[in-house]
Amino acid sequence: MKIFNYEPLITKEQLKSASGKKKKGARAENWTYTLKRIFDFIAEQKSRLFLVLFLVMISSVLALVGPFIIGRLLDRFVAEGVFSTLDYWLYGLVFVYFLYGAASYFQNYLMVGVAQQTVFRIRTSLYTHFFKLPLRFFDKRKHGELMSRATNDMETISSTLNSAFIQVFSSILTLTGTIGVMLFLSPALTLITLIIVPIMFYGMRWITKRTSLLFKHQQAAIGELNGLIEESITGQHVVKAFSQESEMLRQFEEKNKRLRAVGFWSLTYSGFIPKLMNTLNGLSFAIVAFVGGLFAYYGHISIGTIVIFTEYARQFTRPLNDLANQFNTVLSALAGAERVFLILDEKEDNIAGEHVSLSGDVKFDNVSFQYEAGAKTPTLSNVSFHIEAGQSVALIGQTGAGKTTIMQLLTGLYEKTGGTILFDNVPIESISKASLREQMAFVLQDPFLFEMSIKENIRYGRLDATDEDVMEAAKKANAHTFIEKLPDQYDTVLSSDGSQISQGQKQLLSIARAFVADPKILLLDEATSSIDTITELHIQAALEKLMENRTSFIIAHRLNTIRKVDFVIVLNEGKIIEQGPRQKLLEQQGVFGQMLNV
């Protein structure tokens, strides 16, 4: 059985890049930037943080006082044989360690509050930022990977702030104070103790060269695995329908092995640090004890000084050990924080503009758009049309013609790459996204329902809608009948995928949500595609009533659903090949007329 069988699962190039030379200053600049961002979030708790640092200083000083008192006790009461004031010294020693324990407790208590509040602010900023990002950002990233940044990476930051911050600062103070007292007691023994520092430095350098990038690989591997798991769970119906369980398991095994390999090497290399520190700690203690014993034998120092020095020699390597151990934790946290801040640094969607009360007049003037920069064929090319307020318009064309893209540009979910979009002769850039969207209602081809009651799902179209408004909207959408048959009726809580009801019923709830929104502009993207023919007739009548005196854009492959629209736009490969009033196009017997005759 091979013990070290993980190396093939991480490429030699990656291991080489983890241990090889990097561009000068690149890593330090990233760390400095990430640390600065973290401290920016801590800044609002400066007073509490200063109190923590003050308590750390107190506990560090008290940690140095205790061994010094013990050494002086040995010199005075054992070597000199004077016991008259021994009890006072012992009481003082107890008091010192009591204060040390109290300071340590309160510094940890306060730091937990600082850490949790800081992580709370970062997590809130991240979640808020998600809603400000354009859809292009989400199109290019797996949702599970984003969830990993909001959960796993945030938890890594939290645990590091809870423990590492105090530990690092305390270790630095203890190390500085220990060296100072050691120099005061015996410069010769201090120099002997410091012999291990170069060994420690080069050992740490060798290890951290390999761990820093490996921790980044580990966080990325966790994100990839979470992305696959999230995708597998949400797509269970498709996986089972096409019997692709074995393929999903294969992908999972591949990513899981990758995570295991990266985790193995990162923890293996980082595990060298405590082993190295413990070895050097023991070596230092042995050297100090041996040389100190010789100094005492020849009368250069007292027994008490040897006791103090051996304790300080151990205390000298302990903060170094703590710093070494915390360094790995900090590396992991910085890798996670960097991934979080990369999202926070993403450019936000342009939501600026003024609130404009719309009548529903819409104009496209030579509008072009492409999802990917540099694409050979744009999704829309020089599209122009004018829809007057209150008109209904049908967008017709084959799949990929650009119908849904026009809808997305209307709502500002994507920004055009050319041309002008006007609402009531006001450029879309001058209208705030909130103002624009609150005057629109959507019924999409794939309705999305939240894990809340049916009542709240319908009310999502207008949060101030009363229960009576919700019920009236459901009746207009022909959803009231099936809702009344559910065990809890309007209070029935839907699961995240709405599996308790049919696809058609989900669409009915989505239509009811549009009814309750009472919009100026209505967008219907294959709104009746998941509904049976009989139900479609009832829904069509309700939709026709809903579209009265409202500007309505309708995408439909079933041409009978657009038999009463005012205007028709026929698209092909991102271009308008025919447009005009419905009756006029029928009389011309062009592309639209031929479609109806097929």
Highest mean pLDDT of the ranges 42-46, 124-128, 320-324, 420-424: 420-424
pLDDT of residue 29: 45
Contact indicator for 568, 582 with CB cutoff of 8 Å: yes
Between 533-546 and 467-476, two packed helices, what is the crossing angle to 10 degrees? 120
Tens-digit pLDDT profile for residues 244-269: 777 778 888 888 888 888 878 777 77
Read off the tokens for 500.
Answer: 């308790």
Inform me whether the pLDDT recorded for 241 exceeds 80.
no
Is the confidence at residue 115, as pLDDT, over 60?
A: yes
pLDDT digits (tens, 9 = 90+) for 430-455: 888 888 888 888 887 777 788 888 88
**CB–CB of 41/121 below 8 Å?**
yes
**Cβ contacts of 295-301, under 8 Å, gap ≥ 24:** 295/186, 295/188, 295/189, 301/185, 301/186, 301/189
Task: Please state the rounded mean pLDDT for residues 411-415.
Answer: 82
Give yes or no for a contact between 538 and 569, defined as CB atoms under 8 angstroms apart: no
| φ and ψ of 140, to 5 deg | -100, 0
Q: Which residues in the chain are classed under CATH 3.40.50.300? A: 362-597
pLDDT score recorded for residue 527 = 64
Q: What is the pLDDT of residues 304-326, one digit of tens each?
A: 677 777 777 666 666 766 676 67
Directed axis angle between helix 245-297 and helix 303-344, to 10°? 150
Question: pLDDT band at residue 75, thresholds of 50, 70 and 90?
Answer: low
SS3 109: helix
Q: What is the pLDDT of residue 434?
A: 80
Number of other residues whose CB lies within 10 A of the CB of residue 537: 14
- Within 8 A by CB and 6+ apart from 270, the residues are 207, 211, 328
The pLDDT assigned to 191 comes to: 78
CATH number assigned to the domain covering 28-344: 1.20.1560.10
Query: Quick one: angle between helices 143-185 and 196-234, nearest 10?
Result: 160
558-587 pLDDT, tens digit each: 666 677 788 888 888 888 888 888 888 877
Which pLDDT score, from 0 to 100, does residue 512 have? 86
Note the pLDDT of residue 417: 84
The single-letter DSSP state of residue 508 is H
Instruction: Please tell me which of 111-115, 229-233, 308-312 the model is most confident about, judged by mean pLDDT.
Output: 111-115
Contacts for 258 with CB less than 8 Å, ≥ 6 apart: 9, 10, 221, 224
Note the pLDDT tens digit of each residue in 492-524. Answer: 888 766 667 777 788 888 888 888 888 888 888
Q: What is the pLDDT of residues 346-383, one digit of tens each?
A: 777 766 678 888 888 888 888 888 877 666 677 888 88
Mean pLDDT estimate for the chain: 76
Q: Is the pLDDT of residue 131 over 50?
A: yes
Q: Class of the 362-597 domain?
A: alpha beta
Residue ranges of the chain that CATH labels 1.20.1560.10: 28-344
Q: What is the mean pLDDT of residues 389-400?
A: 84
pLDDT at 23 over 50: no
